[in-house]
Structure 1
Amino acid sequence: MTLATGVGSLPGTDIAEAVRLVVGELPDLPHLPELPERGATATMTARALALVDLPSDLQPAGWRLTGPGGGTGVDQRRARSLLAQDLDQLEEQLDGYQGHLKVQVAGPWTLAATVERPRGDKVLADHGARRDLAQALAEGVRTHVADVRRRVTGAGPVVLQVDEPALAAVMNAQVPTASGFGRHRTVHPPELSQHLEWVFEAAVESGAEPWVHACAPGTPWALLRGAGARGLSVDFSVLAAEDRDVLGEALEAGDGVALGVVPSLGPAQPPTDRVLTDQVLAWLDMLGLDPEVASRRLLVTPACGLAGATPDWARRALALSREIAQHLS
């Protein structure tokens, strides 16, 4: 059976309404919504830093680690409070729920590319700092997944979606330095893989299935599978031919694939569920995959997060995802 879910972010600032929307439109695989319009303490980066045991605070340039003895700042406490409130809403509205559930967290390389060290520039610039951040994230994931499973006791399996929008830029030396005049040096595949493995293994040990989501062209999907990702969540429109082959191999191996075929922003001429369903079927046919077999590990999602969409399109995008999944089933 093909399921539908969301990527993570939604427009608006009302978490109760966001959870109601997700539960109503995606009853077979709801997810914990993210509402970045609430401010810097509700962004993807903030939610991940809320999980780690490394003190941080907000600076004009963004989030920064404060180093030993820095203490938990007011911004990090606010991020933790918002996450706890969101989990309270999820727990309340999924009371008695039995089924799949998904939560999201920013991955180690996206964090390293967006968070600053205590003395400036990105964590990415320091081998030891990025190692420490990845290991702290892995420990935070263990605690987070355990908390989710405690709150929603009927959830199973829990999918942990690791968001890595910056992974391709890290791998290809495209992340700007603090001055803006240079680029951080590339990180080589063995180190990329190791840091991801720490997070994926923590998810598995906590009873979750690790997936990865990225919307950026050039994302190394084969590397992610090799590091232990059991599911790949992609923007279908930016995939290269070789990427589609990797997804086909994942489905054949029994791993999951979430195809982001619904536009994240409302287009002038919205596509119909039938047109988008035909795109998925044509892709499966091109790969020589039996739709009935592939549908057991195939999901349908919007192409990327919906934070930039209008509320009407966000609702329609989730509904379209559900309708396409029903057709494929």
Structure 2
Amino acid sequence: MSLATGVGSMPGTTNAAYAEAVRLVLGELPDLPHVPELPGRGVIAAMTGRGLALADGLAADLQPAGWRLTGASGVDHRRAVSLLAQDLDTVEELAQGVVGAFKTQVTGPWTLAATVEKPRGDKLLSDHGARRELAQALAEGVRIHLADLRRRVSGVERWIVQIDEPALAAVANAQVPTASGFGRHRRVDAPELSAHLEWMVAAIADSGAEAWVHSCAPQIPWGLVAGTGVAGLSADLDMLGPGDLDVFAEALEAGRTAALGVVPSADPATPPSDARLTERVQRWFDMLGLDPETAGEHLVVTPTCGLAGATPAWAARAVRLSATVARNL
């Protein structure tokens, strides 16, 4: 049976909206709910701030140019840590009695390295040692995060950690701008790209959970990602090239998860029907020569990307559409 879940982010700018988002995913995605993220509440709730709130042993502060590592945590970093704990309090309160599977999301090491600055400026990406320390701190932070989630939602048997890497393609292809904006950081070689992801995957697996890697950006090196030992790959179907499709097909045949984003994540001019979306996934199976009965057990249906930019009405409908398509399959 195919499952449905959300990518992570939802619309909303208040803590009350966060509680509503938790109720929505618990009610509409009972087989695989997820910890919602509401980046509309500001930088402390957005992807980079959330990632720094998880990284163990790192201090940061918010500067005019963005997040920067510092000797001591600034007020915004402390607020990010506090908001994450507050959100998990809400999840714990509303998810009592939930059993089965549950997903949480963390910002990946390469996206953080491409968006966080060193203490003296410029991105962590420019310093081999700094980006290694960041990845290791993040891996340890994920261990702590998972232990906290297990304590809070004790009935869940299958925990999934989705590593979000929207900047991975930019890092791999030397497309991350330098501080001046006139140059680009050097590309990171494949062995190092893989190693930092492998640390994350290993930390998650050692904690008894499954690691998925998600990106809805184009040109992600999915073959490299698949080689890190991840249990699942998650992408916008429209962003997958011919070679990527083969990687996803091989993952399904090997019994790993493939999460396909097929439901629009922004309000469409003409909302698609569940029948049309179901047919699209079935055509994808046919094109790759996969048996829907077998491969469908490892397929997860999602929106194409996060729903933070959608209206609340469409976000709710997109979640329901994902669940309906999964049931149809």
Aligned to 2:7: 7
Segments of 4+ moved more than 2 angstroms: none
Given the alignment, which residue of 46, 65, 88 partners 2:69?
65
Give per-residue Cα distances to partners, 1:45-94, cap 9 Å, x unaligned. Answer: 1111011211001011111001xxx2122111111111111111111111
- Please report how far the alpha carbon of residue 154 of structure 1 lies from its aligned counterpart in structure 2 after TM superposition: 1.1
**Contact 1:47/1:79 (<8 A) preserved:** yes
Structure 2 residue runs without a partner (length 5+):
none
The one-letter code sitting in structure 1 at the alignment partner of 2:305 is C
Residues of 1 paired with 2:12 and 2:218: CA distance? 28
Matched, 1:42 2:32: no
Aligned to 1:100: 101
- Please report how far the alpha carbon of residue 150 of structure 1 lies from its aligned counterpart in structure 2 after TM superposition: 1.2
Residues of 2 paired with 1:268 and 1:45: CA distance? 31
Given the alignment, which residue of 21, 25, 29 partners 1:26?
29
Aligned to 1:298: 299
- Please report how far the alpha carbon of residue 198 of structure 1 lies from its aligned counterpart in structure 2 after TM superposition: 0.6
Residues of 2 paired with 1:54 and 1:206: CA distance? 21
Range with greater deviation from structure 2 (159-168 or 91-100): 91-100
Aligned to 1:17: 20
Given the alignment, which residue of 51, 54, 57 partners 2:58?
54
Partner of 2:8, secondary structure, is coil
- Please report how far the alpha carbon of residue 238 of structure 1 lies from its aligned counterpart in structure 2 after TM superposition: 1.3
Structure 1 residue runs without a partner (length 5+):
none
Residues of 1 paired with 2:237 and 2:157: CA distance? 27
- Please report how far the alpha carbon of residue 156 of structure 1 lies from its aligned counterpart in structure 2 after TM superposition: 2.0
- Please report how far the alpha carbon of residue 264 of structure 1 lies from its aligned counterpart in structure 2 after TM superposition: 0.7
Aligned to 1:153: 154
Aligned to 1:245: 246
Residues of 2 paired with 1:236 and 1:281: CA distance? 13
Using structure 2 for the length normalisation, give the TM-score. Answer: 0.98
- Please report how far the alpha carbon of residue 295 of structure 1 lies from its aligned counterpart in structure 2 after TM superposition: 1.4
Within 5 A, what are the aligned runs for 1:138-217?
138-217=139-218
Residues of 2 paired with 1:23 and 1:128: CA distance? 41
Residues of 1 paired with 2:157 and 2:174: CA distance? 38
Within 5 A, what are the aligned runs for 1:213-232?
213-232=214-233
Residues of 2 paired with 1:97 and 1:269: CA distance? 35
The one-letter code sitting in structure 2 at the alignment partner of 1:121 is D
Residues of 1 paired with 2:88 and 2:206: CA distance? 21
Using structure 1 for the length normalisation, give the TM-score. Answer: 0.98
The one-letter code sitting in structure 2 at the alignment partner of 1:33 is P
**Contact 1:36/1:43 (<8 A) preserved:** yes
Give per-residue Cα distances to partners, 1:119-141, cap 9 Å, x unaligned. Answer: 00100000000000000000001
Residues of 1 paired with 2:3 and 2:92: CA distance? 21
**Contact 1:145/1:207 (<8 A) preserved:** no
Range with greater deviation from structure 2 (251-260 or 87-96): 87-96
Give per-residue Cα distances to partners, 1:108-166, cap 9 Å, x unaligned. Answer: 00000000000001000000000000000000011001111111111121000000000
Q: How many aligned positions are there?
A: 325
- Please report how far the alpha carbon of residue 296 of structure 1 lies from its aligned counterpart in structure 2 after TM superposition: 1.1
Partner of 2:44, secondary structure, is helix
- Please report how far the alpha carbon of residue 27 of structure 1 lies from its aligned counterpart in structure 2 after TM superposition: 1.0
Matched, 1:120 2:124: no
Partner of 2:25, secondary structure, is helix
Residues of 2 paired with 1:324 and 1:144: CA distance? 31
Partner of 1:175, secondary structure, is coil
Residues of 2 paired with 1:196 and 1:64: CA distance? 22
